[in-house]
Structure 1
Amino acid sequence: MNYPNIMKTMELIKELVEIPSPSGHTNEVITYVENFLQDLQVTTTRNRKGGLIATIPGKETAEKRMLTAHVDTLGAIVKEIKPSGRLKLDLIGGFKFNAIEGEYCQIETSSGKRYTGTILMHQTSVHVYKDAGEAKRNQANMEVRIDEIVHNEEDVHALGIEIGDFVSFDPRAQILPSGFIKSRHLDDKASVGILLQLIKQIKTDQTELPYTTQFLISNNEEIGYGGNSNIPPETVEYLAVDMGAMGDGQTTDEYTVSICAKDASGPYHFELRKRLVALAKENGIGYKVDIYPYYGSDASAAIRAGNDIVHGLIGPGIDSSHAYERTHQSSIEETTKLLWHYLQSKMVN
């Protein structure tokens, strides 16, 4: 059997994370994915929210599968232009200001101009501020230093920067000889890269799937509603492919596929979870079953929206979620293998 080439998947993930796409401003990355799929002659449509749906016909059309991964990322938006010419931010997504302290960023104006900057504490200089280390990392104290000559608010306006402009974070993506990829936004562009490479392999091998399968590349997951709509009534199984959460008390690691039993929304469908575990065992795939205590997915959003589906969640294990993240090619590979076998398996009864 031909699994997708993992190094090509890693390289695709790196390309994806380098495209700015904070929730609410994802057209560039959606267009990239759309072009990738259209080059494979895969039928795609966009929903009104700006997400992308790809369809691969299968033997069975009365019952369908849907898989989803999201290209939207954490980010920020300009909340205020300070008298000093620096910017105050409002966060997009569930993370803390300390996770972006010292990060390079990009501000994009409504006209499309892009400027770089750095996210810093107002009290950064230890030679001036006695409380530089103890001051709270919050909206009041964090600001963007723009890499342009600006002395005041008027200078910033002259650049075209206004309240409501989107701010994205430099991913600083690296693929390392040890097999790790470290970058911001592996949540969830690692999963998007995996799905795109799976679709490419299916098309290249002319593999016929047992069910017509749709792939939703959602664009509002980080704010809670990316995958809660556009689910055809024929959909029986709905599998979110998203990062596995690592930390104290977790079994998820950077080397296996994580199968989620429960997150903050409650348990995932028990029979589908058992089927995923069985597929992993049958095919020698390294896996871990885990609970993510402070987490929600497109699959849980779909359930909350009232969809009558069997829902599940798997994904590569990602260290330091919502900060500077990392995973290993082993986790990418094991996730790819489980999805490959899942796509060709029978649905749960």
Structure 2
Amino acid sequence: MPRLAIDAEYLTDQLKALLTIPSPTGYTDTIVRHVAKELERLGLTAELTRRGAISAVRQGSRRASARAIVSHLDTLGAQVKQLKDNGRLELVPIGMWSARFAEGARATLFTEAGTYRGTILPLKASGHTYNMEIDTMPVGWDYVEMRVDALSRNREELDKLKIEIGDTVAIDPQPEFMENGFIVSRHLDNKAGVAVMLAAIEAMEREGVSTPVDIHWLFTIAEEVGVGAASILTPDVASMIAVDNGTSAPGQNSSEFGVTIGMSDQSGPFDFHLTKKLVRLCIDEDISYQKDIFKFYRSDSASAIEAGHDVRTALITFGVDASHGYERIHMHALRSLSELITAYATSPVEIERDRNQHAGIKGFTRQPAIEAEQELAEDSEPAE
């Protein structure tokens, strides 16, 4: 079945709703509830792990060699490291992101006593006080602090506010949706990926399409700290596609338009045959695409492989400018990704041997060039 038409308005509305819900790693309960309810509204049954990762299985013609699509609900953020004598907060990052992008950010602090608003500032923030010194400060988390918008002139007053070490800080996304299709916001990694998956599900449910195998729609809650899909896969899943961000930057081939297919990340190459199939689907379905390699990047697929899951993995991405900073994407890429997911989910199974976790050589995959030449040479030898 060819790619399905994607409801761009639905995709946009879902992304807007997701961006309103703070969800730094470790503080994801609210967004888990939101996505689980939306999945059930679409007609799927959402099952949660103990900590809140979501699995929703859309039944196909068979269970064996099921397919999985995965993205993550968690985002970058920060935690309180120390209560400072000047009434401000020392922070440590949640996930890998630069304090350069934290400077000036508005944020929400979650405590047992309630929430507080505040701003992350350099230690020397006033030009009227420090003059040019504000331009010569080093960049790093040791050189920023959070100013809480409450009476907090010293540590004692912070204690009265019941602010504690370990409290979570969520960074405001500050989203802006342009009429020309560009979207600028923090946390597009990976709330845009979640919206892409929901839009694909909506299209499949709207059209009532069938799939050759079960499709597991997975939403993880700790990808930004390297956990990802380590514990959510079941043995019947034979292949998994991660939906995440690509990096459209100098030296990279990612784009804010079309699908960017990851060929390799810091954990190594993605599955040869699954990646090749995705490229072929893009060509057959007239979905614009490009390939890229990410040297300083990992996704849900890496954590699954490292956890010991024997699944084929691939990565499809929307190009993000300034990833893990003030991010920018384009609706063209999001729509293209949703289209590719629908085309993949409904495509025939090609590697029948994958229905078994262990099997003999019969039906095992082939790769071009060297193996083919060796087999030709063997075929030309006289029989013993």
TM normalised by structure 2 equals 0.88
**Secondary structure at the counterpart of residue 338 of structure 2:** helix
1:116 maps to 117
Structure 1 runs of 4+ off > 4 angstroms? none
Q: How does 1:158-177 map to 2 (within 5 A)?
A: 158-177=160-179
TM alignment of 1:69-218, pairs within 5 A: 69-111=71-113, 113-129=114-130, 130-218=132-220
State whether residues 212 and 349 of structure 2, in contact with CA within 8 Å, keep that contact through their aligned partners in structure 1. no
Larger radius of gyration: 2
Structure 2 gap ranges (5+) = 352-384
Report the equivalent of 1:236: 238
- Among all aligned residue pairs of Structure 1 and Structure 2, give the percentage whose two residues are the same amino acid: 35
1:1-349 superposed matches below 5 A: 2-111=4-113, 113-129=114-130, 130-349=132-351
Q: Secondary structure at the match of 1:42?
A: coil
Q: Distance in 2 between matches of 1:181 and 1:348?
A: 37
Q: Partners of 1:276 and 1:299 in 2: how far apart? A: 16
Is the Cα–Cα contact under 8 Å of residues 58 and 211 in structure 1 kept in the other structure?
yes
Q: Which amino acid aligns with 1:304?
A: E
Deviation at 1:40, TM superposition (A): 2.1
Q: Which has the higher strand share?
A: 1
Any idea what the Cα deviations from partners look like across 1:105-152, whole Å, max 9, x if unmatched? 0001134x1111000001111222242111112222200111112211
Query: Match for 2:19: what amino acid?
Result: V
Tell me the amino acid that sits aligned with residue 261 of structure 1: M
CA distance in structure 1 between the aligned counterparts of 2:157 and 2:262, rounded to whole angstroms? 50
Residue 122 of structure 2 aligns with an amino acid whose one-letter code is M
Secondary structure of the residue aligned to 2:63 is: strand
For 2:4 and 2:247, the matched residues in 1 are separated by 29
Contact 1:272–1:348 under 8 Å retained in 2: no
2:80–2:89 Cα contact (<8 Å) kept = yes
User: Using a 3 Å threshold, how does the CA distance of structure 1 residues 229 and 250 change in structure 2: closer, same or farther?
Assistant: same
Distance in 1 (CA, whole Å) between partners of 2:293 and 2:126 is: 41
Q: Distance in 1 between the 2:29 and 2:5 partners?
A: 30
CA distance in 1, matches of 2:341, 2:70: 12
Question: Quick check: 125-134 or 208-217, which moved more?
Answer: 125-134
Bigger share in helix: 2
Cα distance in structure 2, aligned partners of 1:348 and 1:79: 51
Q: Provide the aligned C-alpha RMSD in A.
A: 1.2
Q: Does structure 1 conserve the Cα–Cα contact (< 8 Å) formed by 2:174 and 2:185?
A: yes
Compared CA separation, residues 20 and 214, structure 1 to 2 (3 A)? same
SS at match of 1:208: coil
Deviation of 1:273 after TM superposition, in Å, equals: 0.8
Structure 1 Cα separation of the partners of residues 256 and 121 of structure 2: 30
User: In the aligned structure 2, how far is the partner of 1:36 from the partner of 1:128?
Assistant: 50
Q: Is the 1:252–1:290 Cα contact (8 Å) retained in structure 2?
A: yes
d(CA) in 2 for partners of 1:299, 1:150: 44
Paired position in structure 1 for 2:369: none
Q: Is the 8 A contact 1:244 1:315 kept in 2?
A: yes
Stretches of structure 1 lacking an aligned partner (at least 5 in a row) = none
**CA–CA distance in 2 between the matches of 1:266 and 1:114?**
42
Matched residues in 1 for 2:5 and 2:264: separation?
29
Shift of 1:348: 4.3
Q: 1:157 deviation in Å?
A: 1.8
Deviation at 1:2, TM superposition (A): 4.2
Deviations 1:192-237 (A, max 9, x none): 0011121122222221121101111000000001211121111111
Report if the CA contact (8 A) 1:271-1:348 is conserved.
no
Q: Is the 8 A contact 2:317 2:337 kept in 1?
A: yes
Q: Deviations over 1:315-341 (max 9, x none)?
A: 211111000101111111111111110
Whichever residue aligns with residue 324 of structure 2, its letter is H
Q: 1:14 touches 1:174 (CA, 8 Å); kept in 2?
A: no
Structure 1 distance, partners of 2:112, 2:243, is 32
